Amino acid sequence: MGVRPHLTGTAPDQPHLAVARRSEMPLRTIHDGPKAIALTIDDGPDPVYTPQVLALLARYRVTATFSMIGIEAQAHPAVAREVAAAGHLIVNHTWTHLNLAWLPPAMVTEQMSRATDAIHAATGRFPRLFRAPYGAWSPFVLSQCSRTGMAPLGWSVDPRDWSRPGVTAIVTNIMRNTRTGSIILEHDGGGNRSQTVAALKIVIPRLLAAGYHFRTP
């Protein structure tokens, strides 16, 4: 998959969600007590970078949330199973990472359902959360989340690591903008993610040292 820009959504903060309802907007913060934050990893699974991220998370005993693209889960089922076996949360991130706001309802439905099927085939799990590519939400996408029992998941801290701005820039952005309840957006797929891995090696211990603890939405 090529490099893809991510557009931060503008949905208001919402409480912790278990199942999506039609009226709900994407979750952009978590509510799990002081210093609770969430780390989300998008666009995998990737055979090169996902194992590196998993090793780092295991080292620091951090549980993260992986938003998987269906076609990547189908192509790399063993890597997807590694994520599941490590106890991380898995999110539906569509079949091929298209902008759903530009698609007709039938294609939106297909993008979501095929990803669910691929993730389930690879990991044995049915995702209970959905993240729209580019943060591009529409009334139909949100209603489809409700119909399929997947809560819509956004983010609140975006260091734009997909653009490879440099390790220092990624680290500085995360440390400057993270606070209680933050949902941090990072990537293990969609291109060369060596900067992301290097940045996570720095920010995870720094955040832990600052008293933050990682949770899943």
Query: Hey, which residues are catalytic here?
Result: 42, 187
Contacts 24+ apart (CB under 8 A), 164-168: 164/3, 164/191, 164/192, 164/195, 165/195, 166/195, 167/195, 167/198, 167/199, 167/202
- The greatest distance separating any two alpha carbons of the chain, rounded to the nearest whole angstrom, comes to 47
Distance CA 195, CA 134 (A): 20
Distance CA 102, CA 163 (A): 23
Distance CA 83, CA 99 (A): 25
Is 66 strand, coil or helix? strand
Give the CA count within 13 Å in the CB-facing half-sphere of 65.
Answer: 24
